[in-house]
Amino acid sequence: MMSQTSLESKLEALQCHFTWDLDPSRSILFRLRDKLEDISTEEGNSWLGHIYNLRGYVQYKLGFTQDAQSLFNKAAEAFCQTRRADSDEGPWLVVNYGNLAWLHHHLGEQAESQAYLSKVNALMNKYPSPSQDELHPEIYAEKAWTLMKFSADKKPLAADYFQRAIRMQPDMVEWKTSHVLVLYSVSASVNTGLDADMLERMRIAKEEDPENLYLAVHYLEQNAKTMKKEEVEDEARELAQKILKNPVSSYSGMKALLWVYFEYVSVDDAIDLAEEALSHHPDVRYMKSCAALCYKWIITSRGSFPKQSTIDRAISLHEELISLYPQSSLVKKIDLANIYAKSNHSQAKAEEIYQEVLESDVEPADKQMVYNRFANYLYFDRQDRQGSIQYHMKAAEIPHKSYFRESSIRVLGRIKDTFRKRAEELEEFLQNLQEP
């Protein structure tokens, strides 16, 4: 039996979720757990092993060690199925065995931990990396896939790891598709539109991975701006029929397709598609979240005058979702408040939900989002300009880099330039903000 110090140094040297510097807050872990549970676990999903591995790690971080062990074991089984290997073992199990070595160590089961360490060593000797000073491509691919799920700021690193994996093992179509999707996600978040090179990458990936409807929908969404309305409509309807036949998954492309319908086909058709999809799967919470989102877009879009029946349907879907996502429903509660604010008879309910959310004990990043959304509600729905300024200042004061902080700083900058009474105060406030 090796000494505790020797065991710990060997564990630290492993490539797995426990050593990848993944230490998110509990609210992020709950959101991630829900997102991962909404991805299809049907046979044939090439990322099944990675999904179970990450779900196991998230459950471990949340304190559910038995669930973690069960999910790590499922990951090992899934890899054997998806890799369709002659042998039960391969380099794709290095991360999984590393996770199990760490888990047994934390459970005080040192003999089991050492057994998994030995398995990792055996795999690495049998399947060395094609490039001497780099990790095995299977490890890079799993690390990339994991990082892209965690946060926007980890996505450029994820793209780099995918690129390394593909360079050494260019025949893995799903790696190429995920690489393009992560690059697309980074480009799309900048809001400057995609350049020709990114669109070309997406086109090639779509040709190489024709079954990937998630990619196909995002490619259509990017091209829709320059296509004729009838062409967009035809392609969107064709994709809808394919997606409706596939297993439900957050990677089915349904959410992005509803946006294409909403923006480029018609609002009524978007609602019809959302309701049709929900009628096929009435008990699947992800389908409810797609339908709820579609109704929210209609109700909260500028210049929209929705019928009360549309608002009532949106309210009912959001209330259901809050109970179906109990640990990650903060955004859904705020969306519900904003929908109530548009109703003819529920403005008081909007105020009540916002007060409850403002008083709740949430982490600084979530608090920042709440302040920003409440500031917008005060301005647009309550015509309370002074209150709105106060809450934009509260959001900007929290030194956490995010879309919501940038949004509040932009709004305060505009007010400073147009609202003389507070110009000096806001100028000083903005100059003294702490950098996150």
> Average pLDDT, stretch 194-212?
94
Q: For residue 57, what are its two tokens?
A: 């790690």
What domains can you pick out in the chain, each with its CATH number? 4-127 (1.25.40.10), 136-210 (1.25.40.10)
Read off φ and ψ for residue 68, nearest 5 degrees.
-60, -45
d(CA 284, CA 279): 10
d(CA 407, CA 410): 5
Please check the confidence at residue 320 and state whether its pLDDT lies above 80. Answer: yes
Please check the confidence at residue 197 and state whether its pLDDT lies above 80. Answer: yes
Q: For 96-146, write each residue's pLDDT tens digit.
A: 999 999 999 999 999 999 999 999 999 999 999 998 899 999 999 999 999
Mean pLDDT of the chain: 94
Confidence of residue 347 (pLDDT cuts 50, 70, 90): confident
Q: Which amino acid is at 380?
A: F
The pLDDT of residue 86 = 55
Radius of gyration of the chain (CA): 24
Confidence of residue 325 (pLDDT cuts 50, 70, 90): very high
d(CA 165, CA 144): 9
Burial class of 405 by CB neighbour count within 10 A (0 to 12, 13 to 18, 19+): buried
Q: For 225-240, write each residue's pLDDT tens digit.
A: 899 999 999 999 999 9
Q: For 47-104, write each residue's pLDDT tens digit.
A: 999 999 999 999 999 999 999 999 999 999 999 888 765 567 899 999 999 999 999 9
Comparing 343 with 166, which gets the higher pLDDT?
A: 166
d(CA 328, CA 280): 25
Q: For 284-294, write each residue's pLDDT tens digit.
A: 999 999 999 99
pLDDT above 90 covers what percent of the chain?
84
d(CA 295, CA 318): 10
- Residues 6 or more apart whose CB falls under 8 angstroms from that of 401 comprise 153, 436
Output the 3-class SS for the chain. CCCHHHHHHHHHCCCCHHHCCCCCCHHHHHHHHHHHHCCCCCCCCCCHHHHHHHHHHHHHHCCCHHHHHHHHHHHHHHHHHHCCCCCCCCHHHHHHHHHHHHHHHHCCCHHHHHHHHHHHHHHHHHCCCCCCCCCCHHHHHHHHHHHHHHCHHHHHHHHHHHHHHHHHCCCCHHHHHHHHHHHHHHHHCCCCCCCHHHHHHHHHHHHHCCCCHHHHHHHHHHHHHHCCHHHHHHHHHHHHHHHHHCCCCCCCCHHHHHHHHHHHHCHHHHHHHHHHHHHHCCCCHHHHHHHHHHHHHHHHCCCCCCCHHHHHHHHHHHHHHHHHCCCCCHHHHHHHHHHHHHCCCCHHHHHHHHHHHHHCCCCHHHHHHHHHHHHHHHHHCCCCHHHHHHHHHHHHHCCCCCHHHHHHHHHHHHHHHHCHHHHHHHHHHHHCCCCC
- Residues 6 or more apart whose CB falls under 8 angstroms from that of 169 comprise 130, 137, 138, 175
Q: For residue 178, what are its two tokens?
A: 């995920």
The pLDDT of residue 89 = 86
